[in-house]
Amino acid sequence: MIVKVKAALEAAQDLGRPIEVATWRYPEKLAKLFGGESIGTRFLP
């Protein structure tokens, strides 16, 4: 889990934008994510 958190933080910093980490078990939630709704854990740059 620590590796995932560090990777998400690094990606957010490198891209200069928020990164959303969510489960893959509910693909129907992707529409909500693309609509701007937070469905997981958001990492800010």
pLDDT in tens, 1-45: 899 899 999 999 999 999 999 888 888 888 888 898 988 899 999
Judge if pTM exceeds 0.85: no
- Look at residue 27 in the predicted model and tell me its pLDDT: 86
Amino acid in the structure at residue 33 = L
Longest dimension (CA), the chain: 28
DSSP letters, 1-43, are: -HHHHHHHHHHHHHHTS-EEE--SS-GGGHHHHHTT---SEEE
45: helix, coil or strand?
coil
